[in-house]
Amino acid sequence: MRVAVKFAYYGKRFYGYARQPNLKTVEGEIIKTCFEKKIFREIKEARIRSSSRTDKGVSALCNIIAFNSIKDIDEIIPSITSNLTDIIPYGIAEIDEDFNIRYAKLRHYRYYLPKEDRDVDRIKENANLFIGIHDFTNFARIEDNKNPVREIRDIYVSEDKDFIIFDFYAQTFLWHQIRRIISAIIKMEKGTISKKDIMAAFEKPHIRIDYGVAPAEPLILMDIQYDNLSFKIYSKLYEECRDIEYKVRAGSKYLSF
């Protein structure tokens, strides 16, 4: 039986998502726990796949891992929950063998920028420059054989007492894309770069420009959506996920940008 497990985690406690030798990572902790609880016997047989790989310091209220299980579907979440710290599995679904968990319909990330005395209207206006289809070579860390052209469907900017909150929506994101966009938006708000600089970076991607990378800790993977995939949600565990966003907000309030 192949299953997809939906879970949340507080990224500050891990050296990123993807498993790495001798380092505590989100994926590594889930795999270790599944071995201990005899959810699967071997990694090769389990065919482990993840929807998104977040960087060190980035948190998630929704990420998804898929694997083949030798246990009944109703045993998996209760079995692994007690062995995980700072990771909260809260949803599960049975999926077809050929279902590719990487091919999501939509991903939603949220970024908390300390409000301070920033010009919110100007930031909203500048964020609009990044919506649509662009070559993001100068606003991402491009991996080999990765297409730098991506479509950001929307960037919704809101505010509360302490933060300017960015909600990014796209089917896929490049490595460091959101954090580099945030850094560029901050520089535009400060007046150190202009809209013309941003448009030139889009139009001439062969001329490499580095506008920096914003801190990872204020970034949260909020949601991942698929067509025709419904999860059984463990409501009490899901409620615990709210604490993760509170921790992210608290930790981001006094960061230097």
Q: What are the residue numbers of the active site?
A: 55
Task: Please state, as a whole number, how many other Cβ atoms lie within 10 Å of the Cβ of residue 125.
Answer: 15
Cβ-count burial of 139 within 10 angstroms (0-12 exposed, 13-18 middle, 19+ buried)? buried
Local structure of residue 142 (DSSP, 8 states): P
Q: Which residues contact 178 (CB under 8 A, 6 or more apart)?
A: 109, 111, 166, 168, 219
Pairing between β-strand 106-114 and β-strand 163-170 as defined by DSSP bridges = antiparallel
Report CA-CA distances (Å) from 225 to 38, 115, 177, 190, 232.
29, 30, 20, 35, 14
